[in-house]
Amino acid sequence: MTQFVSVDDVATLFHGRGSDRFFRELTAVIGDDFRRWPVFEKAARLASHSRDGVIELMPTSDGETYGFKYVNGHPRNTLDGKLTVTAFGVLADVASGYPTFISEMTLLTAMRTAATSALAAKALARPESRRMALIGAGAQAEFQALAFRAVLGIDTVAVYDVDAAATDKFMRNLRGVPGLRILRAGSVAEAVAGADIVTTATAAKTRATILTPDMIEPGMHINAIGGDCPGKTELAAAILERAKVFVEFPPQSRIEGEIQQMGEGFAVTELWRVLTGEAKGRTSATDVTVFDSVGFAIEDFSTLRYVRDIAVEAKVGSDLDLVPAPRDPKDLFGVMGRRTNLHERRELEALEA
């Protein structure tokens, strides 16, 4: 049997643990895997682009466990009442090839993105950072705010979205969260003013300049998570030129991230090297740092591993009859026969009754 965790199971685990504990633990697990980055197989995700969006496969392995995520990104979906992003993930045993764990990853993608953002900010932002600006109040927004509150102690979030209803939703969902003050901004500039950390998380598949150089103050940390496919950016190139830029996996980031605007020789630092002490992050209180995050398979691997383990601990989830279990491994057809015979017996018993 293959362990399965559903949408409802993930919500149960999140609320059962509490958002603070969940995000701290998930951030720690992702951080642990970043620190063993060299052991993983790494490749840019396999993407199928269309006019309406993208469908991607994101695989990796640490030599013992193999994992992948199926994920889409279709910004127009909301016009039809559908989510922009949906996903599911799989873990498998490398030794046998058997799939051991399957989980929804629509919720978990939002959670792992928020946890990875917090992990990077913990390493790159000023330690005293308490005020955050959120540009984009869509599906990512609440998760980002809760993760930054749990991991960095953020206590004030200024939010702006061109869609007033999205901002209403964000404020409604986080109303009453202890120790978190939510401010509604009237523009990007108003939200960013005075912020220690700025997260950009917009959905439009276009080369945008959500942040311009005049908005950037000395010491800011920018968490740029909206630019995640070719032709989609959020930051003016001039911001990148003056900042220290950190990425997950350069071959993927140069295609999909903010740095797709820059030449191949543009210098970036891999986040895992900062976490292991092999490279420097922020070196002064006035540095402007940018985490150009496009999402990488190792983050999904970490998240699947974390959820698998806490689901077992909490006795949440179910078993899927996904892989046949013949008495004789060379007699796969025999499984069909047994099922057919059982079906026939039941039909006969029904007729006799």
Catalytic sites, residue numbers:
228
Q: What are phi and psi of 175, to 5 degrees?
A: -60, 130
DSSP 244-306: EEEES-HHHHHHHSGGGGS-TT---EEHHHHHTTSS----STT--EEEE----HHHHHHHHHH
Contact 73, 85 (CB under 8 A): yes
In DSSP terms, 156 is beta-bridged to 131, 181
Only one residue has tokens 């950072």, namely 129
Only one residue has tokens 């077992």, namely 312
CA–CA separation, 168 and 257 (whole Å): 29
Nearest to 299 by CA among 4, 40, 3: 40
Length of the chain: 353
Alpha-carbon torsion 204, 205, 206, 210, what sign? positive
CB atoms within 10 A of CB 161: 23
Only one residue has tokens 């901002």, namely 167
Alpha-carbon torsion 224, 228, 229, 232, what sign? negative
